[in-house]
Structure 1
Amino acid sequence: MAAAGTPADSRKLSNKVVAIAAGEAHTLALTGDGNVYAWGRGMFGRLGTGLQNDELFPVRIDFDSARRSWGGRRLKFVEIAAGAYHSLGLADDGSVWSWGYNIYGQLGIDGEHVLVPCLLEQFLELGHPDSFRDESESNIRTSLKVSSVKAGGMMSLAIDNLGALWMWGNCCPQQSSSSEGGFSLVSSSIPIPVWNFHGHTVVKVACGNEHVVALVSAGETYKGGDLVCYTWGNNNHGQLGLGDTESRFHPEAVEKFSPSSHWAVHEVACGAFHTALLALDSRASNTLTSVCWTFGLGENGQLGLGTTRSSMLPEPVKGLPWDVFLISVDCGLFHTSVVSSAGDVWSWGMEKGLGLCPDASFTGTDAGDAISPLFISCGGPSRPNFPAPVQVSCGAAHTVLVGDDGYKLWSWGRGRSGVLGNGKTVDCFAPSIVLWPPPTDDFKEMGLDNVDRVKKSKGKDPTRITETEKRLMEAMEEMKILGSKLSVMEKYTSILHGSIFGKPFEERDIPISLQNSGSFDIAKEWENMLESSDRAKLVRLEMFYRNMLVGVKDKILKKRIQEIVRECLDSPPRGGNN
């Protein structure tokens, strides 16, 4: 349904984001027409652009070369996944494509990192593990087709069309837990089937740095509402939710979400060393309410339990309303975010739920990790909810939310390398709008040629470049320069504002007179600020002023001492010649 005042035909599938995935410092977006976009840090080729450059706003990944090598058919993607430094894409024909970091074989190929998407050919050579028939039927096997992909720290996973789970990269070994060497991951560039779920259907899966969580049908087929939660892998912080810290080589069911429980899990996510689940209470038949459960490492408040302790068993997050239906959950390294069907968003964990933000300048009462859920407002008190939410996704230190039925994206957290997709490289402590649709797409809608094509033609045949294209190129270059200058100014402003007021600079901190007229009476605004400040802010200002004044006086004294010393050294000695 189109937004008010927006023609229905203008809301195209090419501009609609149906899924997002966040890695350590990059983000992927999947559009309704099957294209994949990427932005953020480009190191190791995780963006799939053919380069290792950072991208400050979404750019479409070009699959043309991959398409030609795959028979010429246009690739339409239906799912995406992001590991720490690598990316996965699933096409509608069941083919899996990967790009980025590959030191552990997480791309499903041998060799180092890959800058452009490559086909995971291993799946073409494999059959479904349940599809082999006995010798009397000539060992015929059905071809394997992948229906879902997922990525964790350095591992990749896939679910095939018959519900079997496959793993590759730095993944959990399929061996006995009695090995003397203790638990350790093994590297494999070849997808390995998880045999433990033979005869059942794996519906959803998530993985952290070294652990895996799977939702598996209780029977042979998934009938809805009959999922069992299994966990395995490293368990040094209790992230498996099994009541201890003993690692598991094989999946074990989490008792809280077993067939005998009244809790029905419908979403699962993993952080580096913690797990989050969304579950419905089957006893509440009249309402659709869900509860967020967490377990594992909690030292940064990422469990949302009102404390920094870790938990070896699932516990409900404290502070969330009981009457909301949570539709999406995701975990960063050390933070967690959820969104409700009404567009309410909460985050908790490191640095006020923003994730790992080492440059954050919170001080005083504003400092510290959020040990309970913090409400994230869309646009201040007048517009607290995000319209028509779709999904939330957490990277190592940033969060991205898709709303407006997929036509708008918001991001917040650490902004370096352009990971927020807003054209800047500074941290955002409140939601900022992602530049979506990307600027190049806007130029297409205006009837202008693609900027990338213009750039490629530059230097080959200047006569083919029209005057409009030249102006477009010049405008784009000017935008980059202005964007770079703006980023530096915003960073300087944020540092200065944080030093004075003890919290990062936000848009609402811009004086009203500057917003309305463009002019700024510093004396008047200073007086207004003092008048509206409470006692705590005035005390902070007084301390800042005193510290600055002491520093200035100290520098003046040192400068005067240096001058006296120089005067003494330059003056002739008294008493004549020696």
Structure 2
Amino acid sequence: MFPVRVEFGSAAVKIVAIAAGAYHSLALADDGSIWGWGFNAHDQLGANGENLLAPHLLKGFIGLGSLNASREEAENKVLMMSSVKAGAMMSLAIDSLGGLWIWGNCPQPQQDNPVDAKFSIACTPNPTPVWSFHGHTVVKVACGYEHIVALVTTGETFDGDNDLVCYSWGGNSHGQLGLGDKESRIFPEIVKPFDSQSPWTVYEVACGAFHTALLSKKTQNGISGSVCWTFGLGENGQLGHGTNQSHLSPEPVRELPSTATLISIDCGLFHTSLVSSAGDVWSWGMKKGMGLCPGTRFTGDETDDAMLPVLIHCECGHNKFQEPVQVVCGAAHTVLLSDSGYKIWSWGQGRSGVLGTGQTTDAFIPTLAMWPPPLDEGKNKKGNEEMRLTKEVFEMQKKLSAAKMEIGQLQTKLSVIGKYAGILHSSIFGKPFDDTQDIPASVDSGGTLEIAKEWKNMWECLDLGMLVRLEMFYSNMLAGVKDIKLKRRIKEIVVDCLGPIQLSGTGTRSGTWPGGDGKRAPS
């Protein structure tokens, strides 16, 4: 439930990047090697097919050369990776020369002939190059359940963000490729609004299970602005367009401030989160944009999905997060890195302790993760103090939650008792119960209720009409009790008298004499 250090077998291994899929994780070391652990049923961790409980070096890249390398470079250099991504059941990596590699449960043609090939998803145990980008540099890539989106240079080398074109391929059942239809693609195709002729340049990409989000920018009259675009499945509001409709082509999220500089975006299964350079964070999609999956208990006033961006407030004395770096999403939770990397905030579904707060409960507001403080002495003390305060807050919240639950149960019981007392009081006295006048004095003063004494005091305070009503009520009640007792006694006598007759008539037909001679009883 707390962040723990992952050991890689040697202190010489320095991790510079990580990626988490649905059930597996990847880590990129500074020497360009890739390590993986977790679920491996679809070969997303390599060819052996075994699940890995601890990080293992992925050996599928050993002996391979970059698809962009010359023959001499391929022979003399070890293939080094510069980026890793993990999808639902697939893995991707970009090598140091801009080549893209893919393995696991990936889009694959069913035939070798590209002209006749049909779309399918198949297990690919070894890293396979995406030859469509040969001669170009892949800069960024993202993947969802079955689809992939990549930012690729128009030429051989990367000359800046203005040089990038957006490609997509894979499953397209909800329009998540942004190509204007629902036809799946085996090979990468350019997303038309972001081709080489577009005034917009995409600089960030993210994929949910069946939707895609992009950040783009353009400079006009010397002013640079950024816009968030989304497309694909929208039934939970994860597109942020104000409806639950899906979109087959990129559409801008219009409710975001036009002046905001957007720096990072990511998608959960059915939600999207975004952060600006000023420290504003927005989320939208399933369960108020927090990504809480169906069945999760929600305590807020509104439980519907967020169809438009919701501004997430920082509970740290001000609404903005200081010096934000990156936002990332799990299936149903969100994590934000702020304060130039010194703080981790998390919120959403807390199952299995994924929020890193020491709890398994859901968090509906950003909460500091209990991660190790930085080495700097001043910030070390500050980090320890913040962690101590956070622990105290969690303990207090836990106690308050239990107290609220107990109060709720007591309120329910008191409500039932109040209704019962009101009905009884109205039946006896013919008027509604008034808690300012009709509560016995001994109870109202906090003493012990002496019922006989209270009844006597009450009788003495009643007028003649109320005394007559009280007499009639109890007379009728007494008569009713006597009537019930008499009926029960008569029933007992009848049973006692008829018992022998029933025993002697056992096995005879209905309507015959107990003697069993077959003659019918007289009518």
Distance 2:15 2:182 in 1: 39
Q: Return the offset for 1:438.
A: 6.5
Q: Match of 1:243, SS?
A: coil
Cα 1:484–1:431 change in 2 (3 A) is closer
Q: Which of the residues 382, 395, 412 maps onto 2:330?
A: 395
Distance 1:547 1:409 in 2: 44
Higher RCO structure (Cα 8 Å, ≥6 apart) = 1
Paired residues, what number?
422
Q: Which of the residues 189, 199, 204 maps onto 1:252?
A: 189
Q: Return the offset for 1:113.
A: 1.1
Cα 1:391–1:285 change in 2 (3 A) is farther
Report the counterpart of residue 194 of structure 1 in structure 2: 130
Cα distance per residue 1:368-412 (max 9 Å; x no partner): 1000000000027x5110011011011111001011111111111
Instruction: Supply the AA of the counterpart residue of 2:207.
Output: C
Report the counterpart of residue 91 of structure 1 in structure 2: 29
Instruction: Answer whether contact 2:65 2:74 (CA < 8 A) is retained.
Output: no
Matches within 5 A, 1:341-380: 341-362=277-298, 366-379=302-315
Whichever of the two has the greater Rg, that structure is: 2
Cα 1:280–1:188 change in 2 (3 A) is same
Q: Structure 1 residue 228 and structure 2 residue 228: aligned? A: no
Matches within 5 A, 1:15-164: 56-63=1-8, 65=9, 67=10, 74-131=12-69, 133=71, 140=75, 142-164=77-99
Cα 1:105–1:546 change in 2 (3 A) is same
Matches within 5 A, 1:370-449: 370-379=306-315, 383-437=318-372
Matches within 5 A, 1:510-549: 549=416
Distance 1:365 1:548 in 2: 22
Cα 1:364–1:379 change in 2 (3 A) is closer
Report the counterpart of residue 575 of structure 1 in structure 2: 493
Cα 1:347–1:551 change in 2 (3 A) is farther
Q: Match of 1:60, SS?
A: coil
Cα distance per residue 1:162-190 (max 9 Å; x no partner): 1100001111115667668x532111120
Distance 1:108 1:552 in 2: 67
Q: Match of 2:214, SS?
A: strand
Cα distance per residue 1:313-368 (max 9 Å; x no partner): 00001210000100000000000010000000000000000103334445896121
Q: Which moved more, 1:111-120 or 1:337-346?
A: 111-120
Q: Return the offset for 1:427.
A: 0.8
Instruction: Answer whether contact 1:288 1:324 (CA < 8 A) is retained.
Output: no
Mark the runs of 5 or more structure 1 residues left unpaired by the alignment: 1-55, 68-72, 447-478, 501-521, 523-543, 558-563
Instruction: Supply the AA of the counterpart residue of 1:200.
Output: H
Q: Match of 1:308, SS?
A: coil
Cα 1:486–1:189 change in 2 (3 A) is farther
Cα 1:433–1:164 change in 2 (3 A) is same
Cα distance per residue 1:175-234 (max 9 Å; x no partner): 667668x53211112000000001000000000000000000011101011100000000
Q: Return the offset for 1:298.
A: 0.4
Q: Return the offset for 1:142.
A: 3.8
Q: Return the offset for 1:487.
A: 8.2
Instruction: Answer whether contact 1:213 1:230 (CA < 8 A) is retained.
Output: yes
Indicate the percent of aligned positions where both proteins have the same amino acid.
Answer: 55
Q: Which moved more, 1:139-148 or 1:189-198?
A: 139-148
Matches within 5 A, 1:314-333: 314-333=250-269
Instruction: Answer whether contact 2:334 2:346 (CA < 8 A) is retained.
Output: yes
Q: Match of 1:366, SS?
A: coil
User: Structure 1 length normalisation: TM-score?
Assistant: 0.66
Report the counterpart of residue 264 of structure 1 in structure 2: 201
Instruction: Answer whether contact 2:65 2:75 (CA < 8 A) is retained.
Output: no
Cα 1:138–1:420 change in 2 (3 A) is closer
Cα 1:253–1:403 change in 2 (3 A) is same
Distance 2:65 2:405 in 1: 57
Distance 2:293 2:347 in 1: 11
User: Structure 2 length normalisation: TM-score?
Assistant: 0.73
Instruction: Supply the AA of the counterpart residue of 2:294.
Output: P
Q: Return the offset for 1:491.
A: 5.7
Instruction: Supply the AA of the counterpart residue of 1:245.
Output: K
Distance 1:486 1:413 in 2: 19
Distance 2:183 2:418 in 1: 54
Instruction: Answer whether contact 2:342 2:373 (CA < 8 A) is retained.
Output: no
Q: Which moved more, 1:309-318 or 1:355-364?
A: 355-364
Distance 1:545 1:288 in 2: 58
Instruction: Answer whether contact 1:426 1:490 (CA < 8 A) is retained.
Output: no
Instruction: Answer whether contact 1:361 1:495 (CA < 8 A) is retained.
Output: no
Q: Return the offset for 1:128.
A: 1.8
Cα 1:205–1:549 change in 2 (3 A) is same
Distance 2:319 2:16 in 1: 31
Q: Match of 1:574, SS?
A: helix
Instruction: Answer whether contact 1:131 1:142 (CA < 8 A) is retained.
Output: no
Instruction: Answer whether contact 2:21 2:88 (CA < 8 A) is retained.
Output: yes
Cα 1:425–1:131 change in 2 (3 A) is same
Instruction: Supply the AA of the counterpart residue of 1:218.
Output: T
Matches within 5 A, 1:195-210: 195-210=131-146
Report the counterpart of residue 459 of structure 2 in structure 1: none
Report the counterpart of residue 456 of structure 2 in structure 1: none
